[in-house]
Amino acid sequence: MARGLVLRRSHLIGLVVPSITNDFCAQLYQGAESYAVERGYGVLLSVTKEDLRKEKSALERLRRVVQAEGVIALPAPSSPGKSSFHDQALADWPYVLVVRHFPDLQSDRVLCDDVKGGYMATSHLIALGHRTIFFVSDARQSGCSNVKARCTGYRQALGQAGLRLDPACSIDVHIGRPPEAQTALFKALRRRKPTAIFANNDPTAVAILAFLNSAKLKVPDDIALVGFGNLNVSRLVNPQLTTIDYGAEEMGRLAATVLIDRLQGSVTGQHQILLEPHLVSRDSCGARSSGADRSTGHLELMSVG
């Protein structure tokens, strides 16, 4: 501490994430912390719960009180131009955004190639013979850059396969409000009768799986399901979830590398790193013969309360 005071360096960096119970964030921290320690830095963790006010408070505390030299952040959902990272007070503070970014904001960022990941997930379902495929996102996150990019990949895959893009097949549901989310999902399923669902992330997919189970719909027999993230929960549910993996621990390590290199003056200009997504095929898709689409018979029996 004395050396840091003399040199005006704390050798601390912040990591701001939505949750500590989400194993993606835990892996992100593990990757960032292990690399930072190698470079002589400590990592301080702050949790926002996807709340902009908590995010702003965490950033101010890290910078003003703890005097962290920079921060890695998975930013909270926000309207364009409303993010904490648009604040001029942070303009001269080094930071790296992970998972999500803001197109109108110049910043270092480490992201997944979400367009490619969305394309891979949807193409996998198409290859199994599905023709009516839903894209379902958590309404709290639907405006985030990663969700938009995954939806773009979904649309590209449908277009390349010559399938009609139906706006009614892309829906947002409030996963944090289970009764409301279940009702919205069931109404959409009744209207369009999809045979497959691509969820914007694994927590959303797991919530959808629970909703389908409550309606006596079997995955994958009645509806196939794909998530995104390859979180531990994707292996714990029954059936195990087909998903897209993009290496949370590696993302943390790369973000720490970019940030510390910038702190030490070894990089210039804006840096963007895109991680390659990979399909992890498990039981929630099953195998289907290619050919004509089918309706899901049980849909007419569902109650939406």
Tens-digit pLDDT profile for residues 250-259? 999 999 999 9
The answer, yes or no, to whether the previous bond of 277 is cis (omega within 30 of 0) is no
User: For the chain, how many structural domains are there in total?
Assistant: 2
Q: Is the pLDDT of residue 47 over 90?
A: yes
* pLDDT, position 96: 97
DSSP 14-83: EEEES-SSSHHHHHHHHHHHHHHHHTT-EEEEEE-TT-HHHHHHHHHIIIIIS--SEEEE-PPP--TT-S
Instruction: Please say whether the beta carbons of 207 and 136 come within 8 A.
Output: no
* pLDDT, position 91: 82
**What is the average pLDDT across 60-66?**
94
Q: What is the rounded distance in angstroms from the CA atom of residue 82 to the CA atom of residue 185?
A: 29
Closest by CA to 140, choosing from 206, 84, 77, is 77
* pLDDT, position 8: 65
Residues 53 and 73 in one domain: yes
Q: Percent of the chain having pLDDT more than 90?
A: 82
pLDDT band per the 50, 70, 90 thresholds, residue 305 = very low
Q: What is the rounded distance in angstroms from the CA atom of residue 117 to the CA atom of residue 154?
A: 9
**What is the average pLDDT across 49-58?**
95
Interstrand relation of 243-245 and 278-280 (parallel, antiparallel or unpaired): antiparallel
What residues pair up with 95 in beta bridges, in sequence order? 71
Residues 152 and 288 in one domain: yes
Query: Which token pair is 139?
Result: 């309404």
Q: What is the rounded distance in angstroms from the CA atom of residue 195 to the CA atom of residue 92?
A: 50
Residues 130 and 53 in one domain: no
Q: What is the rounded distance in angstroms from the CA atom of residue 206 to the CA atom of residue 197?
A: 12
Q: Percent of the chain having pLDDT more than 70?
A: 91
* pLDDT, position 108: 96
Residues 144 and 54 in one domain: no
Q: What is the rounded distance in angstroms from the CA atom of residue 245 to the CA atom of residue 36?
A: 24
Instruction: Please say whether the beta carbons of 196 and 212 come within 8 A.
Output: no
Chain CA centroid to CA 233, Å = 14
Interstrand relation of 243-245 and 70-73 (parallel, antiparallel or unpaired): unpaired
Instruction: Please say whether the beta carbons of 121 and 226 come within 8 A.
Output: yes
Residues 224 and 291 in one domain: yes
pLDDT band per the 50, 70, 90 thresholds, residue 293 = very low
Residues 120 and 107 in one domain: no
Instruction: Please say whether the beta carbons of 281 and 124 come within 8 A.
Output: yes
* pLDDT, position 294: 37
The CA R_g of the chain, rounded to the nearest whole Å, is 21
Residues 261 and 271 in one domain: yes
CATH of the domain at 186: 3.40.50.2300
What is the residue type of 276? Answer: E
Q: How far is CA 300 from CA 29, 130, 188, 293, 295, in A?
A: 45, 20, 12, 17, 10
Residues 102 and 131 in one domain: no
The predicted model scores a pTM of 0.90
Residues 134 and 104 in one domain: no
Looking at 215-297, list the stretches that DSSP marks H as alpha helix, in order from N- to C-terminal side: 233-236, 248-263
Residues 16 and 163 in one domain: no
* pLDDT, position 297: 37
Residues 86 and 216 in one domain: no
**What is the average pLDDT across 23-48?**
96
Q: Is the pLDDT of residue 295 over 90?
A: no
Q: Tokens 């001269």 appear where?
A: 92
**What is the average pLDDT across 159-164?**
96
Residues 38 and 173 in one domain: no
Closest by CA to 111, choosing from 103, 100, 120, is 100
What is the pLDDT of the chain when averaged over all its residues? 90
The answer, yes or no, to whether the previous bond of 220 is cis (omega within 30 of 0) is yes
* pLDDT, position 269: 86
What is the tens place of the pLDDT at every residue in 257-284? 999 999 998 878 889 999 999 999 999 9
**From 11-15, 157-161, 301-305, the region with the lowest mean pLDDT:** 301-305
Quote the domain boundaries for residue 62: 2-113+246-275
